[in-house]
Amino acid sequence: MPFYEGQTIKVKQPFGDFYIISIPAKLLVQVCYSFAARYGNDVLSGVQRGINENRVKAIAQFCATSDAMFPTSVILSVNLDENGESPLHPWYINDDSKLVIPTSDEIASIVDGQHRVEGLKKALEKNELSADFDIVCAIYFELPAPKQAEVFATINFNQQKVDKSLAYQLFGYDLDSVESKYWSPDTLAIYLTRLLDKEDDSPFKGHVDFGMKKMDLAIQDEGGEDSFDKWYVSTSTMVQGISSLITTNPSKDRYYLHKKRIIRRSREILSDIEMKTTPPLRSYYIENKDGQVYDLVRDYFTCCDEMFWRRSDISFMRKTIGIQALFDFLKYILNYINKHDQKISSEQVELYLKRIEPDKLIGFNINYSGVGRTQIRDFLKSECGIN
């Protein structure tokens, strides 16, 4: 039995689709977390302003009155934990347009409304809030941190004064306003994701959803003559996959880059960071070889499209777990090439990929979770002969 299930209303807007739902306050406070954005010592962290305890106290007191009401929505981005990782038990919309929250795991980032949530939590702790008090929520799926920051800053520019230094940093993910040599790894990953969604030669063209999944790859319908065209991959899956090729800790890189920016903030300063293991395309990122990173990813997945994605009998390869496993496999191939002092090229990568016999994936008993991702990845490694 799921932790909570409730009817939703889907809202379509240019920025991205979201769902409106009413969630009991006593349940909402258990599944949320919040990152306060602070700008100090040249370091940016988080998404929102810091907690104002006086405001939280006032909201808690208001909750105890007969006039308590919160008609505006708390905005959440779900299905990424505090480390930016995909959870084992994600939220989803079922066939009846109901939001299903499988567990009480904290995988809902508060994009806007942290003071209301904290005030509700305090009131609940004091038993001063009705057990059936509901909160209106707007649910986005898998908004990456830069997009969460954009939503927060956009809303609060029009509602309350936001510290400009903080706001400009939040909007620092605007790719058009910052030279590429200053991009952090996750910012580059967002740029390449956008490019892969737009370019005619990309196998991902029209299949990347920004801000909201059009269709969950883990549960989308099978079959139909148009099924090969009607699949989507979330932005977070793409950004995590690309980032894994150039960084082991996107947050650490981003903060270090911002910390150094007054003196110099271009990418080469990240070579100062010691790593136990170096991502295979780290040097490409440091040396601003963004075009080569794009070409490698595009060419690799073009081959994947030809080998796996056009087949209905192994359609799980174009679902979330399949694409995640393929990114993992690309990383393994690139590491193997580096380890054996071979030259990285699309042709070299393709040689390893084409050792796979797609027919062996037919009838594969797939678990649609992180376990399934590991199953696919390990099979690809085994078939390829990479240790």
Domain match, 161 and 198 both = no
Contact 350, 384 (CB under 8 A): no
d(CA 49, CA 323): 35
Domain C-terminal end among 154, 173, 192? 173
Which pair of structure tokens corresponds to residue 300?
């690799």
Domain match, 82 and 154 both = yes
Domain match, 71 and 209 both = no
d(CA 360, CA 380): 10
Domain match, 230 and 90 both = no
pLDDT average per 10 residues of sequence, the chain (387 residues)? 94 91 96 65 46 88 87 93 84 95 94 92 92 94 79 64 42 60 86 91 87 44 53 85 93 70 70 88 95 97 95 91 95 94 92 94 81 92 84
Contact 211, 149 (CB under 8 A): no
Domain match, 168 and 217 both = no
Contact 17, 11 (CB under 8 A): yes
DSSP string, 225-284: TTTTTS--EEHHHHHHHHHTTT-S-HHHHHHHHHHTTTT--SGGGGGGS--SS--TTHHH
d(CA 137, CA 19): 8
- Pick from 245, 241, 266: nearest CA to 256: 266
pLDDT in tens, 246-281: 999 887 787 677 664 445 568 888 888 888 889 999
Q: What are phi and psi of 108, to 5 degrees?
A: -120, 105
d(CA 201, CA 209): 18
Domain C-terminal end among 128, 148, 173? 173
Domain match, 142 and 169 both = yes
Domain match, 269 and 346 both = yes
Contact 244, 26 (CB under 8 A): no
- Pick from 338, 335, 352: nearest CA to 299: 352
Domain match, 135 and 27 both = yes
Residue-number span of the structural domain to which 112 is assigned: 4-173
Domain C-terminal end among 173, 207, 234? 173
Domain match, 96 and 224 both = no
Q: What is the pLDDT of residue 228?
A: 59
Domain match, 304 and 207 both = yes
Domain match, 153 and 11 both = yes
Number of structural domains the chain divides into: 2
Q: What is the pLDDT of residue 273?
A: 84
Q: What is the pLDDT of residue 261?
A: 46
Model pTM? 0.62
Domain match, 42 and 160 both = yes
